[in-house]
Each structure stands twice: as structure tokens, then as C-alpha cells.
Amino acid sequence: MASALSPGRVSMSSTKQEAWWASTRGLMITALIVWFIFSFGIHMFAKTLNTIVVFGFPLGFYMAAQGSLIVFVALLFWFAGAQDKIDREHGFAEEG
């Protein structure tokens, strides 16, 4: 494993690293909140949501069976794109 000071690696200022980490931490917290809502929050209210019908299925059942999975996949793609944008903005992008 190469160290941060090895030849060929650019040493970033601690201010730049702190700004990158602050942006990354904000993204991570946002993603975890969305994950929590669709992992636990939606399912806690399944009985209430079952009064709403989507595609012929009660919403609580739909969210448990399909909706949460769709949100998780979308969340992964969104997170990867947003993290790549943060990396590029702060000069930490992986080229290749």
C-alpha cells in the first residue's frame, strides 16, 4: 500500500482534505437517512400505508416487496455519482 507521501501521489492540503471530508460526511449522512427511512420507517407504517393502492397492491405490501429494493438500487447509483462529483470538485478523483 502506497503512503500519501510516496512518489507519484499528490499531497493535498489538510484544508482541502477537511473540505472533502465534510462534503463526503454530509453525503453519507443523507444516504443513511434515506436508507433508514426505506428500511425501517416505511415498514413501521405498513398497516397505515395499506390503505393506499399502487398497481393493484396495497402500498405497505408494495414497499416491502419491491419499492424499498428499487429505492436501494437508485440510492447506490445516486451515491456513486454524487461521491464522484465531490471527489472531482476537491481534486481527489480517480482517473482511469
Does residue 34 have a pLDDT over 70? yes
Does residue 27 have a pLDDT over 90? yes
Does residue 5 have a pLDDT over 60? no
If you search the block for the grid coordinates 477537511, which residue do you land on?
18
Of 96, 94, 88, the C-alpha closest to 9 is 94
Mean of the pLDDT values across residues 41-51? 85
If you search the block for the grid coordinates 456513486, which residue do you land on?
80
Q: Which range among 27-31, 53-57, 71-75 shows the weakest confidence by mean pLDDT?
A: 53-57
Helix (H, G, I), strand (E, B) or coil at 40: helix
What's the one-letter identity of residue 16? K
Residues in the chain, total: 96
If you search the block for the grid coordinates 460526511, which residue do you land on?
25
